[in-house]
Amino acid sequence: MNYRHSFHAGNSADVVKHSLLIALVRALQLKPGALTLIDTHSGCGLYDLDGDQAQRTGEATQGVLRAIADPNPLLDDYRAAVKAVNVGAEPHLYPGSPRILAQLLRPQDVLILNEKHPEDAIALRRAMRGTHAAVHERDAYELWLAMLPTRTGRGLVVVDPPYEQTDERARITATLAAAYRKWAHGVTVIWYPLKDRATHSRWKDQLRKLGIPKFMGVEHWLYDDDQPDLYNGAGLFIVNPPYAFTQALPPLLEALRAALAPEGHRGTIAADWLDD
């Protein structure tokens, strides 16, 4: 599955991913110690919702535009992150994870970004001007391991690939196993698209075999049944989620489900522990 960020900016997957990412960083920041935030597949950093690629799919109408219109206060932090890069009520730009993480930085925190595609890396550097982010142009999986353990005592790694390569899940699994051996206490977030339940179930079984404790999965299925040839949803795997995050998660997930459910479908979004 090829999932290039620019074609899907602001869709339902982005709303869930970025809402949870904000909540996760906020929970980690309840402690004053410095954080290192690492984004291995950063993309362009900022996306034009009126541009050709985003308009070709039109997915923002079922994602960020729904979230902006939804009155639930649990989505306020997400809406604020989107509004921070826009002028006016309607969003025309969408902040990728790099811009959202930059908004969350405290003076003591560190932000490390990486994008291998040369054109996207140029766009990323342009989007991050004026921030304190370090931008790399390396293989994502090599960088992931090279940056561990982080120089600060605590950190967060965000892994958000486009799933262009057929071995993407295998590379994630192998790199996660190696990363956990180097940095067992660190927090890792892995984003993934959901195509069908059988494929996803097989990958979860492989990840369970790594034997990582405190390993959470969040799955957001848009439709009540798999829709052939459609993007059916997305989710996150989270290693070592902090307690404050897990306690606040159920009402946030319900708010996201209600805001994003397609017409005629209830949809589901739920979190469970892979080591159960």
What positions carry a catalytic annotation?
Answer: 160
Dist. CA 33–CA 25, nearest whole Å = 12
> Please, which residues have CB within 8 angstroms of residue 29's CB and are 6 or more apart in sequence?
35, 104, 106, 109
Residue written as token pair 């994630």:
172
Q: Which long-range contacts (CB under 8 A, 24 or more apart) does 263-270 make?
A: 265/222, 265/223, 265/224, 266/224, 267/220, 267/221, 267/222, 267/223, 267/224, 267/233, 268/219, 268/220, 268/221, 268/224, 269/16, 269/218, 269/219, 269/220, 269/221, 270/218, 270/219
Closest to 142 (Cα-Cα) out of 110, 170, 118, 178: 178
